[in-house]
Amino acid sequence: EPEVTQTPSHQVTQMGQEVILRCVPISNHLYFYWYRQILGQKVEFLVSFYNNEISEKSEIFDDQFSVERPDGSNFTLKIRSTKLEDSAMYFCASATGTGDEKLFFGSGTQLSVL
Amino acid sequence: RKEVEQDPGPFNVPEGATVAFNCTYSNSASQSFFWYRQDCRKEPKLLMSVYSSGNEDGRFTAQLNRASQYISLLIRDSKLSDSATYLCAVNILGYQKVTFGTGTKLQVIP
């Protein structure tokens, strides 16, 4: 069964450092998403991406965040200067684009900012 | 009012019991509705979509009430393996964004 893959599974970084979280969506999917979940809290929407452009973004997704689809398979989330409060599990998801918005999630990257 | 609201629980039920969760949404333009299951520190996994006519998948039944703006999930004959957090998710027509509720924690007890 096709799946969304994320790397790394864990990332530890120092405050102020840049991190790039990587995702390989399901190959025939057209819509891509990043969500985050702080421990004990809800799954929060960050950004959606379609046709090489951001479709929607939340208030959390400020200038410190960026997304990119550098090639035909990878989808990345960059945090330019990490803060302590960026510590969370980051989930990538993809959807077919046929309009049903069923999301398929990767297993996540646990980001710890020290 | 929150976009999507759920009772966080926990719901502690014995094996074999029937349990129901509700989820309310605030935006009447919401178009697509889903239930996801999330195990501890794992990714959400789609359990089922929720259709206007209601739908059933084995022991799971989902219903939508547009007038009152809520969706429900009914689990019959609960199994120990059903223990998880159940997330309600909503998409608004025309927006590439699925909003999740905080989740309802279910613990099925032997």
Within chain A, how many helices (H) and strands (E) appear? 0, 11
For residue A53, the model assigns a pLDDT of: 94
CA distance B25 to B3: 5
For residue B110, the model assigns a pLDDT of: 95
In terms of CA atoms, which chain A residue is nearest residue B43? A107
Q: Is the pLDDT of residue B92 over 80?
A: yes
Q: Which residues lie below 8 Å from residue A92, measured CB to CB, with a gap of 6+?
A: A4, A6, A21, A23, A25, A32, A33, A34, A35, A75, A77, A105, A106
DSSP-derived secondary structure letter, B48? E
Chain B CB within 8 Å of residue A104 CB: yes
For residue B1, the model assigns a pLDDT of: 73
For residue A76, the model assigns a pLDDT of: 97
Provide, rounded to the nearest whole percent, the portion of chain B with pLDDT above 90: 84
Q: Output the six-digit token pair for B16.
A: 């074999």
CA distance B97 to A96: 14
Q: Is the pLDDT of residue A98 over 80?
A: no
Which of B36, B43, B45 to probe by mutation at the A interface, max A CB count within 10 Å? B43
CA distance A108 to A8: 8
CA distance A41 to A67: 23
| CB-nearest partner of B101 from A35, A42, A45 | A42
Provide, rounded to the nearest whole percent, the portion of chain A with pLDDT above 70: 99
Q: Across the interface, do A31 and B96 touch by the CB < 8 Å criterion?
A: yes
Q: Across the interface, do B42 and A107 touch by the CB < 8 Å criterion?
A: yes
Q: Output the six-digit token pair for A64.
A: 């410190």
For residue B38, the model assigns a pLDDT of: 98
Q: Is B50 exposed, middle or buried (0-12, 13-18, 19+ CB in 10 A)?
A: buried
Query: For the segment A33-82, what is each residue's pLDDT rounded down to a tens digit?
Result: 999 999 999 999 999 999 999 999 999 999 999 999 988 789 999 999 99
In terms of CA atoms, which chain B residue is nearest residue A53? B96
**What is the distance in angstroms between the Cα of B42 and the nearest Cα belonging to chain A?**
6
CA distance A90 to A11: 10
**What is the distance in angstroms between the Cα of A74 and the nearest Cα belonging to chain B?**
19
In terms of CA atoms, which chain A residue is nearest residue B86? A42
